[in-house]
Each structure stands twice: as structure tokens, then as C-alpha cells.
Structure 1
Amino acid sequence: MVSTNKKVRNFIPDDISLSILSKLPLKSLKRFECVCKSWSLLIDNSYFMNKFRNNFLSNLRCCSYYDGSSILLQIGKPNFKDDFYSLSGERFENKVKLDFSNPYANQFNFQIFGVDSVNGILCLHEYDALGEIILLNPATQAFKVLPPSQVESVEVSIPDDARDFVDFYIVSNLHGFGYHRVINDYKIIRYVRFDIESSVEGDEHFEEIIYSNSLGKISLEPLWEIYSLTSNSWRKLDVDMPFSSKCNEGTQVYIDEICHWLCEKDEEDNPAGACLVSFYLSNEVFLITPIPSNLDDCFDVEASWINLARLNECIALISYHEPRTTFHISILGEIGKKESWINLFTIGPLSCVRCPIGVGTKGELFFQRKDEELAWFDLNTQMIEELGYKAGDCCARIIIYKVNILTDGGIVN
């Protein structure tokens, strides 16, 4: 090498370092905060955050995770005959009505669980009850009706003089649906509880009620269950995780063999308060990420809609605050790290919004306007575009769907 008398800088200029840091994933950025005091305050630097947001949006446009996916628009219709449309293209100009038949349309009103399909498979379930659960591949129309678990065989023996005013229910709430790559298995997680209702306050007959199944007397404590498609069976999970009794549509998301769900802060049995629960399908352990106080007002009455989404490989918490007609988008840098949440975007006021209906692959915010038109907000252009549909008084919903005709993962008619 040719020697030189030029001095080599022993430091990086601030503008260059800020430019580099603004291109990092949030997890890496949060870890660099320990380098020096000025870097620990970057989140409060408006100039830096504008650069970080711009890079975040640029990465959204080229994110490959959802390549080949389309937007599934569901518009509610009477008698469970909902209309389904596939929306694709840069501006969702490609619209195709789908023959999306519900194999149990005449038996129960199904809900699509979660915010997207898993390898082209959708999980359908009867809302807020211990009803049918179905795995469905819309591309091949192959479906699998899940078998009951031992819990569902519980029988209740009620004294004759109490039968007129004591009711017994088994209620389950789905919390997760995902795929374990190593063993090529689909999994479903649910929380099961036993509800006893009496029309007589302070009824003493509860102590006389005997609950049993094929194994004899059982405990009436709530429990977690997990289903395996490979074994086609349910089994009890020996975990004590925070749960959600509401399980609102869109408050669960599956990312890379981890099922995530939101828990409200008003659950009496959830001392963790408002939090994100992440359940690892590989080893069946979980982590809790508290929602910081500057974000958890999304669980208050002023937030009429809450959704989880996957943005740039990050978990995004998106809420709509009706009184202020604003959307808030926060992302999580690292699971289990409360301090790694940052509030990335505040959008609005958007006075035309009647109710949100979902989030797209690039962070598009879909909603129904007050004039009943369905529309979406583009984070990049900051513009509102119409979809060309009216929902009227019917419910509408957005789900991310990727066609899979190669395999049904063991799902057969």
C-alpha cells in the first residue's frame, strides 16, 4: 500500500451516523441506545425520527414476506352468505369475486380467526362459544373439522331442586393459530373456562354440583389447550398465561412460529395488565411484553378499534381513537422488552372515517367512510383511495390471504 500523510478521522460525523442509524431495524436501533447519551435520545429527535419513518416506509414497499399475497375483503350478508373479494395490484385495481363457500353455512355463523392465512390455510370458528372449528384451504376447498377435546365431554350433575335456576356452560376463546415448520404441523391454542350461572343470588346448591367426564371428577379451573393437526387431537397445556376473554377480531397475529395476542388491562385474572403475549410453538413457552402507559390508552373506551399487524418483520399495534378520529401505529423492537415499543405514526384527524376494517400488507389502513364507501389510507402518499364497494349497514373486514394449491398440510375432506 502507498503511504500517505493524510490524517484518518477517528470519528464519524453526526450526519453520517444518524443516516446509518435511521436505516437500522428497530431492534438494532434500541440496542445502540447504550452507546452514548445522544444516541439514547434519538427517539425524541424529530429530525432523526422523520428519517427513520421514511426508511421504514421505503422498506414496507419492498418487503418480500407478503409477496404473492392478496387482500381478502369480506362483506357481511344475511343468512351467513357473505361476499368475498380478492383485491390486488398497487392500488387494488384488480378485483375478483371469490367462490368462497362456507362448508357449514347452514349450521353456524363462522368467523375467520386472526389477520391473515397461514400457508394459505384459514381457521374458521364459531364466535365466543365451544362450537365448531374448521381449517379451510379456499383454493382447493379442502377442509378439516376439528374433533372435540376431553373437556367438551364434561357432564354436569345438578340436583333436581336446582335444575330450574342453574345453568352450566363451557366457553372457549381461540388465541393462536400457526405452523411449526420443523415437524410440519399446524397448531391452534385456546383458553377454556367453565361458566356457572344461577338466577338465585348466593345459591348454596353450587357446592352440591358434581362435574365429571370419562376420567371421573375434574377440576373446574380454566385451562389452556393446544391442537395438533398431525395427531388430530387436543391436549392440555401446562402454562399460566395471560388470556383475553374478548378476543376481538384482529388482536392476534402469527409471525415465524410465534403466536401473539393482546390482553386487556381490565382482566381480573391478568395481573400483567395490558400486554402482548407471545407463545412459541417450537418449545411451548411464552413471553409477556407490557404495553407502556403512553400506549395503553388504546385499551380505553376512546379507542374504538385495535389491531395487530406485521410491518417490516415487526409487530405493530394499531388503534383508532374515535373522538379524535386518529390512527396510532406503534411497533415493537424486541419481544419481552417494554421499552422497545415506539409510537411511530399518528395519522389524522380523518373525520370521514366511520369504522376501520383492517390493515394491508404495506400498512394500508382500510375503513368504511361515513358515506358507506370502503376506502384505504396510503401511508406513503398520505392519500385516501376508494375501493369501489359500499358496505352499507353490513360488517366488512380485511384479511391477508396467500393462495396455496400445492399442499393442504394434512387437511382432507
Structure 2
Amino acid sequence: MKKTTQAYLPQELLFEIFKRLPLKSLLRIRSVSKSWRSLISNPQFITLHRDYNNNNTHMLVSYYPSELCALHYDNPAFELHSEAEFPFNKPYRFYRIVGSCNGLICVGYSCVSYANDLFLWNPSIRKIVTLPKPGIPFESHRALMLVLGFGFDPKSNDYKVVRIVYFHGRNGLHKLLPMVELYTLSTGTWRGISAVVPPYVISNFLLQANVNGAVHWIAHNPTKIGGFRSLIVAFDLNDEVFKEMRLPNELAQEYPVAMSIAACGELLSLFHYYQSSSSNRGCSVWVMEKYGIDHSWTKLFNIELLQGVDLVLGSRKNGEFLVVTKDEKLVSYDPDDEQFKDLGICRTCSFVLRACSLYVSPYIESLILVDSSNGGLGNDSAPDLLGEDDSEIKDRQ
């Protein structure tokens, strides 16, 4: 009997077909043939699929200290899509999310003295990269504190972790000696960089914001002559340099703990917390309308709730803002009608870890790390967020 010849489709056409498929389907059809597996693992296709599905976002919610990671539909009901436990099994250690980008999550140990534990995790495809031990251990050289940042460099199409270790100077807090190293997923290694770190204090417990190919933190200058000064410190992931960005003039004298930042869409957003009454506090919402232009900061509105505002975590596709109230509930606030909706999620945490105990961020399911040789070791035993085990997927010879 004559063998049936498999129909040939050009790679470009397969790319166009496959990029429209949901992630679970792509993982399954990888078993059809080695050529399909190779195509779906192709970095060019991974980027194409990511960009095509960039607007198909869920909301990632991470709970501390239960170490539960969940995806919610970004719809009015904020319905649960799926959930998974953190797969970092070490006794007596609690982990938190440093940052999330394009379906890839950077996870670190919550106590900075053990911050050598760092992972990149794609929960949608059950892949983990364990980062190698940094070249600058936190425990050595009288280290004072450590700051981490994670983001995506669109120019090199690479994911990077920046690590800043501050050491004691001769004058203690008044003289910080920072050292910087950078991990890149494409190489799977750390390397020291010569970037000059602005001499400001960045708190590792404050939220970061990824905007315009840079990681942003709120910082302050404890030695400012004539008064306190707060500002934003940004690390450009492509140029690998630090930049300073001014806050609105009326907020420059505020302490960093009274502010937080986030990426709301493509805009850098700033949240300033103030006492709205003797018992509650509100929040003013600012956006930088033109990135890098200090005078483009614009105040949009105030958020004031009877329950009080503890933390604003960012925005949703419908323009509402996700807010943690003083009674530890996550609510969705509509600035147009000034109404809020309880999302049925509560936060439990210690005072020290408030800012990182409930992490919320837009999330897209992606194929990043689908090839376990990409920058580190894959771990197929990690739980996923697809709601179903794909362990039956095997190559057909």
C-alpha cells in the first residue's frame, strides 16, 4: 500500500495559524511531530504568539504567606480562572513576587538576608529557571540592604534581573556603597556592570513598575541639604544605566512609604497616600503623560473610601483601579462614579511585608521558557495555571 504523504505547509503559514491558538492547544499539538514541537519552541514564534495575544490578559493575584498564585478573568465579576501553589519547596521559607512580565514571574525569598534564592517561573507551562548564585553575596562585606528589579528589554527581546547590594560606608547610612549585577535570561548568567547607582535609598519592600523598557522604584535622599527629597530611580534595561526622574513638586518632600508606583497601561502612575480623616486615609492618583518629562505629571483624581485606602495596586482594562482597603480587602474602584466593588479577596500579612503580601498584575499566558534549555533548567514537575496536567504530551517518533 502506498504511504500517504503528509501535506506540506510553509512555516510562515503555520506561524499565522498557531499564533491564534490558546496556550493549552499549543502544548498539546507539540506532540504531533518533532517539526511542530520545534516550530512552537522557536523564539521567533514565541515572540509572535506573545505579541498577538498581548491584549488577552488576565489578572495575576499572589497571596502571602499562603504562597498561592491565581489567575482571574479581568471581567466585572473578577472570576477565578485557575490557581497554583508556589513550586518552591523549601521549609520555613516564604517567597514573594519581585515582578511579572509577559507571563514570566520573578520570585525571590521574602527575607533579604536570603535573597540569593531567585527564580523565573512561567506557571502556565510549568517551567522554572533557578538563577545561579549571584557574584555579590548579600552576606559578605557588611552588606546593609539589597534591591531587586525584574523586567523585559524589548530591544534585545530579553528578560533581565537587576540586583543592587548596598554596603556600609564609613559614615553608615550617610554613605552608601552600592554594587550592581545583572542576570540575563538569554545567557543564564550574572555579570557585574559599571552603571553608577544614584546615591539614594531604595526600599526593597516597595513595589516596582515596568514602563518603557525600564524598572522604576521610589527612592529618597537621606542627606539632602535643606530638607528631605523623594524621587524615582529607573534602571534602563537596554542601556543598563540608572536614571533619575522627579516627582510632582508637591510630593518631593513626602516620604517614600507614603507613595507607591505602578504601570497603568503604558503610563507610569504614582499613588500618594494622605490622611482624609482622623481615622482613614485616601489616595491621589497621578500619571506621567509623557514618559521622562517631569512637568507632564498630571493628577487625575482622589480615591476616598469609608473603609480607608491602604494600597493601590494598579488599574484594570475597564479603567477601574485595584485597591487594598484598611480592613485588608481587595476592591475594584470606579473613578467615574466613585463606587467600589468587593472582589472577595482578603489580605493577611505582617506590617513589615504589607507592600508585598498581595501582588496583583496583568498577566498573559505565554510560551516563554517552553524550551527548557533557554537560559536555565526547566522543571516539568511544577504546578501550572492551565487547570490540567499536560504530562501525557510526548514526542511521537
Task: Provide the TM-score with structure 1 as the length reference.
Answer: 0.64
Partner of 1:121: 104
Q: What letter matches 1:192 in structure 2?
A: V
Residues 265 and 393 of structure 1, relative CA distance in 2, 3 Å threshold: same
Question: Structure 2: how far apart are the matches of 1:239 and 1:310?
Answer: 24
Question: Structure 1: how far apart are the matches of 2:158 and 2:220?
Answer: 30
Q: CA deviation at 1:286?
A: 3.4
Question: Structure 1: how far apart are the matches of 2:54 and 2:365?
Answer: 11
Question: Structure 2: how far apart are the matches of 1:67 and 1:246?
Answer: 32
1:133 is the counterpart of 2:118: yes
Structure number, greater radius of gyration: 1
Q: What letter matches 2:274 in structure 1?
A: H
Contact 2:152 2:158 in 1 (8 A): yes
Residues 131 and 104 of structure 1, relative CA distance in 2, 3 Å threshold: farther
Q: CA deviation at 1:96?
A: 3.5
1:276 is the counterpart of 2:232: yes
Partner of 2:307: 352
C-alpha offsets along residues 57-108 of structure 1, whole Å, 9 cap, x if unaligned? xxxxxxx99622222223334xxx3333322143134223501323234252
Question: Structure 1: how far apart are the matches of 2:177 and 2:255?
Answer: 27
1:246 is the counterpart of 2:246: no
Residues 268 and 136 of structure 1, relative CA distance in 2, 3 Å threshold: farther
Residues 273 and 224 of structure 1, relative CA distance in 2, 3 Å threshold: farther
Q: CA deviation at 1:274?
A: 1.6
Partner of 2:62: 74
Question: Structure 2: how far apart are the matches of 1:238 and 1:245?
Answer: 19
Of residues 320, 336, 340 in structure 2, which corresponds to 1:380? 336
Question: Structure 2: how far apart are the matches of 1:347 and 1:292?
Answer: 18
C-alpha offsets along residues 288-333 of structure 1, whole Å, 9 cap, x if unaligned? 21113312355267x3xx3222235221111222454221111113
Residues 100 and 67 of structure 1, relative CA distance in 2, 3 Å threshold: farther
How many residues are matched?
307
Contact 1:367 1:376 in 2 (8 A): yes
Residues 221 and 169 of structure 1, relative CA distance in 2, 3 Å threshold: closer
Question: Structure 2: how far apart are the matches of 1:186 and 1:300?
Answer: 27
Q: What letter matches 1:248 in structure 2?
A: F
Question: Structure 1: how far apart are the matches of 2:222 and 2:54?
Answer: 34
Partner of 2:147: 173
Q: CA deviation at 1:187?
A: 1.0
Residues 369 and 143 of structure 1, relative CA distance in 2, 3 Å threshold: same
Question: Structure 1: how far apart are the matches of 2:189 and 2:163?
Answer: 13
Question: Structure 2: how far apart are the matches of 1:332 and 1:279?
Answer: 17
Q: What letter matches 1:90 in structure 2?
A: N
Q: What letter matches 2:178 in structure 1?
A: P
Q: What letter matches 1:95 in structure 2?
A: L
Q: CA deviation at 1:139?
A: 0.9
Q: Residue 125 of structure 2: SS of its match in structure 1? A: coil
Residues 170 and 316 of structure 1, relative CA distance in 2, 3 Å threshold: closer
Q: CA deviation at 1:357?
A: 5.5
Residues 183 and 313 of structure 1, relative CA distance in 2, 3 Å threshold: closer
Question: Structure 2: how far apart are the matches of 1:185 and 1:327?
Answer: 35
1:361 is the counterpart of 2:316: yes
Question: Structure 1: how far apart are the matches of 2:347 and 2:177?
Answer: 42
Partner of 1:103: 88
1:88 is the counterpart of 2:43: no
Q: CA deviation at 1:192?
A: 0.9
- Please show how residues 242-321 of structure 1 align to structure 2 within 5 Å: 242=198, 243-250=200-207, 252-266=208-222, 273-299=229-255, 303=258, 306-321=259-274
Higher relative contact order (CA 8 A, sep 6+): 2
1:396 is the counterpart of 2:381: no
Contact 1:113 1:249 in 2 (8 A): no
Residues 72 and 134 of structure 1, relative CA distance in 2, 3 Å threshold: same
What are the ranges of 5 or more consecutive residues in structure 1 without an aligned counterpart?
1-63, 157-167, 203-219
Of residues 271, 293, 298 in structure 2, which corresponds to 1:337? 293
What are the ranges of 5 or more consecutive residues in structure 2 without an aligned counterpart?
1-51, 351-356, 380-397
Question: Structure 1: how far apart are the matches of 2:138 and 2:75?
Answer: 50
Q: Residue 68 of structure 1: SS of its match in structure 2? A: coil
Q: CA deviation at 1:170?
A: 6.6
Q: CA deviation at 1:154?
A: 8.3
1:227 is the counterpart of 2:212: no
Partner of 2:158: 185
Task: Provide the TM-score with structure 2 as the length reference.
Answer: 0.66
More divergent stretch after superposition (284-293 vs 188-197): 188-197
Question: Structure 1: how far apart are the matches of 2:140 and 2:256?
Answer: 38
Q: CA deviation at 1:226?
A: 1.3
1:194 is the counterpart of 2:149: no
Contact 1:136 1:143 in 2 (8 A): yes
Q: Residue 315 of structure 1: SS of its match in structure 2? A: strand
Contact 1:357 1:396 in 2 (8 A): no
Q: Residue 229 of structure 2: SS of its match in structure 1? A: coil
Question: Structure 1: how far apart are the matches of 2:349 and 2:233?
Answer: 34
Q: CA deviation at 1:368?
A: 4.0
Residues 391 and 232 of structure 1, relative CA distance in 2, 3 Å threshold: closer
Q: What letter matches 2:320 in structure 1?
A: E
Residues 321 and 106 of structure 1, relative CA distance in 2, 3 Å threshold: same
